[in-house]
Amino acid sequence: MSGGSARSLAKGSAPPGPVPQGLIRVYSMRFCPFAQRTLLVLKAKGIGHEIVNINLKNKPEWFFTKNPFGLVPVLENSQGQLIYESAITCEYLDEAYPGKKLLPDDPYEKACQKMVFELFSKVPPLVTSFIRRQNNEDGSGLKEELRKEFSKLEEVLTNKKTTFFGGNSLSMIDYLIWPWFERLEVLELNECVDHTPKLKLWMAAMREDPAVSSLLIEAKAFRGFLDLYLQNSPEACDYGL
């Protein structure tokens, strides 16, 4: 699997050629939580893939032909088909590739995973607001809002009486929400799970998963990236390489 630690492509770069048969390409960025969802599913399903990292602070012009919104992740297959929006890419991979199904076959169980996903939907913008707050703003209001959202997720685990959000084994919904929980520690937001013990246990169980642990981002590297990213530095996306 090539490219996970490859330098990003930026403005002025040549577009990559067609995707070789037998592989699927993901346009990504090493620190992006949305792209991490897609990488987790690729890993969990053992799908042969290549990674092309994009410099999100200095995007190549050709990248907008892959996704008009100019965002990662984007999937491109050898037929030239393009799929974007992280949740859509994950579902596409689960449907198009054989092996372990991450989404349940049962229509109701599948709907439940999508309802939990909706329940989670306020978390990414809250975390982004927290990261982007000005230096003299204390984040306690945002932390309180995050705690509220986490309580909703705790309730799901309490009602289901299972370790994971889809049951007793890890499944799609767990991978979709993981990247934000991975970042809590480095963002000093761990205290937001102090009152949600099941969520804490879930986080520990997630770290045991082979796909999750193989994609864990080193705290120092993330911090280095984030500092540069917040300064809009075009070097941010390649931090540590």
8 A C-beta contact, residue 237 and residue 60: no
Select 120 or 229, whichever has its Cβ closest to other proteins.
120
- The answer to whether 37 contacts other proteins (rule: CB under 8 A) is no
Near other proteins by CB under 8 A: residue from 84, 130, 150, 202: 84
Gap between the Cα atoms of 58 and 10, Å rounded: 5
Radius of gyration of the chain (CA): 18
Nearest to 202, CA basis, from 235, 168, 241: 168
Residue whose structure tokens are 């995973």: 113
Decide if 32 is catalytic. Answer: yes
Select 101 or 200, whichever has its Cβ closest to other proteins.
101
By CB under 8 A, what part of segment 124-183 binds other proteins?
none
- The answer to whether 107 contacts other proteins (rule: CB under 8 A) is yes
Gap between the Cα atoms of 99 and 111, Å rounded: 21
The active-site residue out of 32, 90, 112, 237 is 32
Cα–chain center distance at 173: 11
Select 118 or 138, whichever has its Cβ closest to other proteins.
118
Gap between the Cα atoms of 90 and 195, Å rounded: 31
Near other proteins by CB under 8 A: residue from 26, 54, 83, 177: 83
Binding site for other proteins (CB under 8 A): 77, 81, 83-85, 88-89, 91-92, 95-96, 107-108, 110-111, 114-115, 118
